[in-house]
Amino acid sequence: MFLRKSIAKLPCTYPALNTASFISSYNQTTPQDIAHRASFLINQPNWKTNETLKSFVSHMNPTLAAQVILLQNHHFSLALRFFQWVCQHSTYCYDITSRIHLLKLLVSSNSFRIAHKVVIELIKTCSSNENDLLKLMEALDEMRETSFRLNYPCYSILLMSIAKFSMGFLAFLVYRRMIAEGFALSAIDYGMIINALSKVGFVCQAEMFMSQSLKLGFGLGTHICTSLVLGYCRKKDLSEAFRVLDVMSKSGGCEANSVTYSILIHGLCEIGKVEEAFALKEGMKEKGCQPSIRTYTVLIKALEGKIKEANGMFRQMEKGGVYPGIVTYNALINGYCKEGKIVSAFELLSLMEKRNCKPNIRTYNELIEGLCRVNRPYKAMILLGRVVNNGLLPNCLSYNILINGFCREGHFDMAFKIFELMNSFGVDTDAYSFTAMIDGLCKQGRLKLANGLLGKMIKKGIEQDEVTFTALMDGFCKSGNTGGASKLLKMMIENGCLKTCHAFNSILHVLSKECELVKQYALFGKILKHGLAPSVVTYTILVGALFQADKVDQSLSVIELMKQVGCPPGVYTYNVMVNGLCQFGRVEVAERILDSMSDLGVSPNHVTYTILVKAHVYAGRLDRALEIVSVMVKNGFQPNSRVYSALLAGFISSNKTTEVAHSRSISPLYVWSPSTAENYDECVSSNILKEMDLEHAFKLRVEIEKFGGSVLDFYNFLIVGLCEVGRIVDAEHLTKDILRQGSYPEKACFSVIDWHSRNSNCNECLKFLDLILSNGFIPSFASYSSVIHCMHTKGNIKEAQRLLSDLMKYNNIGDAKAALPHIEFLVNTDEPEKCIDLLKLIEQMVNRERPVI
């Protein structure tokens, strides 16, 4: 008590108390004493920088904080500032739940004036989190039972937040409560309600509120009309949206602005009318309304599949004096990454940094996904170091992209390590994280671990969907465990996850391999029993199984059944049938089916042609195989590696009879086991490339030129293959030959350079780079990277730096200095050992961010 009285007598200018003595007395005082001490300190100048108060407040719970706030009865602005400060510095008040508890304590003390200010502050705090706002609204409803009512400023700001989150129905409920409590709404309030309703497509209701607003004497206004345009665009009713635009052009005081036009342009892009969207952009210029960042960003996003055009729009935007924001950069980076143009994506990153447009976590997520897309998950992992250095923390999506990327590359241990550490990084694993890991583990055959993850998923209360179960079922089926797959199918049915017949198809696939036709029929009946419609895949599996069981006529009758039940066969079904007929030696029948496919609205694809080409080659009919390739090219399909291999085998066998050329083991593409067929074809192709003479290749080139095929594609296939089987001299000879003829086989050049790089022949690498340049072509990024790696390995850093400079010059990178760190990052070798250190660093950073109690 003496200490409290002494503090009360101290003048306001008294120096800060000693921290050590202040803390040592903490446990010897009552909560009321503590509240008074804190109140005294916050009434001093520069109180926010007071170290004693900082230490003091770090332990302050909401009850104590409420007492301090209540002591500022006549100083409401100070009370609010302390509320804001204590929520940032107290370990108790970080989340919305603690802040709401603090509000309730203030309300229970009937300090409604302070409470109203706190409510406004909390609504603003929740402006970026929809769930937090809903929690706050629920709490405010509970507090109504204690006679606490919101005042008009609280309601008005609440309507703004609700509109931001597109909660149309909630906006209507708040409106009804305001009317019931006698509040008169302003024009802004009506605008917010109309906006909230329009965002969720409730345009009729929005127009009713607009009518009511007009009756009260409020003007129409650009904001209200633009909201209605948005509502109609959300409903994809563009004719009504343009009707509103027409009204705006005729009404005074509510002219369309760049936001209005941007919404309409986005609406047109959404329904695929991109040309009309561009025309509207030009039209808005004519009306004196300049396109905004949003306008250009919408158009750039619409052009993501056409990255050159998107980049042109980006340049046009800059020329027009509209400088892109982060959303625009992210959209363009996304487009580059989708096309595998990672250098351009990183160049944009350097441009962002140069222009002080700080990348956000979405920027890095786009780049991480781009690196994973081009099979560089370790690079993507190290990119997280940049995220951390920029003061950002990876989110759930960042880790999910990495998990998926590592799984795709077969690096399951690294994927699993990231998955296991996510929680310690402060990020909760979600359904996608589990499904990606389950799928990856199943592909590796680690079913026990995958099944354990499903159990953990159930235990954590994470909802499993059809994709999760089907991934695990597929793993069981591939291992031949149809019993385990059947149990999972039963779980799917019990959990209501069975929406399609994909899960049944996995089991049908296994049964077809085991030639269990009776069981397949029974399972087919179960599909119908559960009210599911068999898909094209279901019928196709059945067609293939019937061919395997030598029931050719029955398989053809299934095709007729598909047509009758409204599930017409697709190209994959026809491929199975063509393949089956070829295996039975009925190639002529297969060709007749090829002719009839287009009549039924199904176009053959490269697989269809490949099956027939291989069938004729292995039957000794090379001329007919070449005729089919001619038809293939005429119909827009370039021959693939399997076709080239088959044709080369045909030319070899035309000169001499070999065991490989006539062996029955070399069969057409086996549709039912793609992985096995692919491995087998690769083996056959490898043997052919080892055995062939260059004369065979030149003969095939002549034929390719005759039917208008791509000679460049053929040389790429041939040279890459020759490098793989070690025939580097022949590969170099062919590459030099086609370069001198004025064509640039990019894949071939990279294969030759990469072969020399892996064998540490740095001088040969440089010779080949010079050869490409001397013939007027620019070596690819991959080629430069390979040579730079070779130089680094040999310790020739100076030459490596020169190559880096050339790389940037030939990629038209404007600011080489800004882009250099990014290019160096891309060309440096993958360093898996760094990734573990990086994971530890992120974990430490997360732990530092957590408040220490």
Count, residues in the chain: 853
Question: 680 falls in which pLDDT band (50, 70, 90)?
Answer: low
Q: Flag whether pLDDT at 851 surpasses 70.
A: no
Please give the Cα distance from 762 to 769 (Å, whole number): 11
Nearest to 118 by CA among 130, 129, 102, 134: 102
pLDDT, tens digit (0-9, with 9 covering 90-100), for 686-745: 888 888 888 999 999 999 999 889 999 999 999 999 999 999 999 999 999 999 999 999
Please give the Cα distance from 654 to 371 (Å, whole number): 46
Element (H, E) at 818: helix 816-827
Q: Secondary structure of 329-380 in the HEC alphabet?
A: HHHHHHHHHHCCCHHHHHHHHHHHHHCCCCCCHHHHHHHHHHHHHCCCHHHH
Question: 681 falls in which pLDDT band (50, 70, 90)?
Answer: low
Give mean pLDDT, residues 759-768: 91
CA 677 to chain centre: 31
Give mean pLDDT, residues 232-242: 91
The backbone torsions φ and ψ at residue 809, rounded to the nearest 5 degrees and listed phi first, read -65, -45
Give mean pLDDT, residues 350-379: 91
**The pLDDT value given to residue 671:** 33
pLDDT, tens digit (0-9, with 9 covering 90-100), for 395-452: 999 999 999 999 988 888 899 889 988 887 878 889 999 999 999 888 888 888 888 9
**The pLDDT value given to residue 146:** 83
Q: Secondary structure of 460-494 in the HEC alphabet?
A: CCCCCCHHHHHHHHHHHHHCCCHHHHHHHHHHHHH
Please give the Cα distance from 828 to 193 (Å, whole number): 55
Please give the Cα distance from 469 to 471 (Å, whole number): 5
State if pTM tops 0.85.
no
**The pLDDT value given to residue 1:** 32
> Scanning the structure block, which residue is given the tokens 């200095």?
817
Please give the Cα distance from 47 to 25 (Å, whole number): 20
Please give the Cα distance from 584 to 552 (Å, whole number): 9
Q: Flag whether pLDDT at 530 surpasses 50.
A: yes
Contact 611, 584 (CB under 8 A): no
**The pLDDT value given to residue 659:** 44
Mean pLDDT of the chain: 83
Long-range interactions of 250-254: CB distance < 8 A, separation 24+: 251/220, 251/225, 253/219, 253/220, 253/221, 253/222, 254/219, 254/220, 254/221, 254/222, 254/224, 254/225
List the domain boundaries for the chain.
Answer: 1-146, 570-709
Query: Among 2-6, 115-119, 189-193, 200-204, where is mean pLDDT lowest?
Result: 2-6
Residues 6+ apart with CB under 8 A from 820: 804, 808
CA 368 to chain centre: 10
**The pLDDT value given to residue 519:** 76
Q: Flag whether pLDDT at 156 surpasses 50.
A: yes
In Å, what is the CA distance from 123 to each residue of 65, 98, 405? 19, 14, 39
Q: Secondary structure of 491-549 in the HEC alphabet?
A: HHHHCCCCCCCHHHHHHHHHHHHCCCHHHHHHHHHHHHHCCCCCCHHHHHHHHHHHHHC
Q: Flag whether pLDDT at 3 surpasses 70.
A: no
Q: Flag whether pLDDT at 69 surpasses 50.
A: yes
Type of residue at 743: S
Please give the Cα distance from 389 to 378 (Å, whole number): 18
Give mean pLDDT, residues 556-572: 85
> Scanning the structure block, which residue is given the tokens 């635009």?
245
Contact 450, 438 (CB under 8 A): yes
Please give the Cα distance from 268 to 276 (Å, whole number): 7
Please give the Cα distance from 724 to 708 (Å, whole number): 27
Question: 135 falls in which pLDDT band (50, 70, 90)?
Answer: very high
Q: Flag whether pLDDT at 322 surpasses 90.
A: no
Question: Which tokens sit at 260?
Answer: 């209005």
Nearest to 428 by CA among 450, 456, 390: 456
Type of residue at 37: R
The DSSP result for 231-259, as a single string, is: HHHHTT-HHHHHHHHHHHHHSTT----HH
